[in-house]
């Protein structure tokens, strides 16, 4: 049986180490979910990524709640909680409606490539005019 006091004490004692692991793990796993969804990979691969990323996000939420339980109300706790909730929501979106996520990713990529081409075009014109 898990003892809440022991878990809370562990969470507080090793807070820096826990956050140093969970923050990048959470962001990278969620990014991997977005990449797999954007590349239209098989649902099994996306689900595996979602499970891992959701575990990291849930662990971060529980870690932050242990701090809230003792009354630590500071900006980092809210920032970490918000990050975990956003990552969890993105992962649930990837499972719940991957087509809309894929469409958003494709629009973002096309806009980025259009921006790059306009930027390169602008650089070429400046060079022709001898500016910059």
Q: Does residue 132 carry a pLDDT above 60?
A: no
Across the range 8-24, mean pLDDT stands at 94
- Torsion over CA of 120, 125, 130 and 132, rounded to 10 degrees? -40
Of the listed ranges 60-64, 108-112, 118-122, the one predicted with least confidence: 118-122
- Chain-centre distance for alpha carbon 129: 43
The model's pTM: 0.83
- Please, which pLDDT band fits residue 126 given cuts at 50, 70 and 90? low
One-letter-per-residue 3-state SS of 8-76? HHHHHHCHHHHHHHHHHHHHHHHHHHHHHHHCCCCHHHHHHHHHHHHHHHHHHHHHHHHHHHCCCCCHH
Give, in order, the Cα–Cα distances in Å from 111 to each of 117, 122, 123, 125: 10, 16, 18, 21
Residue 125 is predicted with a pLDDT of 67
The whole-angstrom separation of Cα 42 and Cα 38 is 11
Residue 73 is predicted with a pLDDT of 86
Q: Does residue 121 carry a pLDDT above 90?
A: no
Q: Is the model more confident about 79 or about 123? A: 79
Across the range 28-54, mean pLDDT stands at 96
Average pLDDT, the chain: 91
Query: 51-95 pLDDT, tens per residue?
Result: 999 999 999 999 999 999 988 889 999 999 999 999 999 999 999
């Amino acid at each position: 049986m898990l003892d809440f006091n022991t878990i809370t004490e562990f969470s507080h004692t090793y807070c820096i180490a826990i956050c140093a692991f969970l923050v990048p793990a959470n962001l990278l796993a969620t990014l991997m979910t977005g990449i797999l969804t954007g590349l239209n990979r098989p649902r099994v691969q996306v689900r595996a990524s979602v499970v891992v990323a959701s575990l990291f996000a849930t662990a971060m939420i529980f870690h932050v709640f242990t701090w809230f339980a003792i009354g630590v109300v500071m900006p980092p706790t809210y920032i970490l909680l918000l990050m975990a909730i956003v990552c969890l929501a993105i992962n649930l979106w990837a499972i719940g409606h991957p087509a809309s996520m894929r469409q958003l990713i494709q629009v973002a990529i096309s806009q980025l490539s259009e921006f790059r081409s306009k930027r390169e075009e602008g650089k070429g014109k400046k060079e022709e005019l001898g500016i910059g």
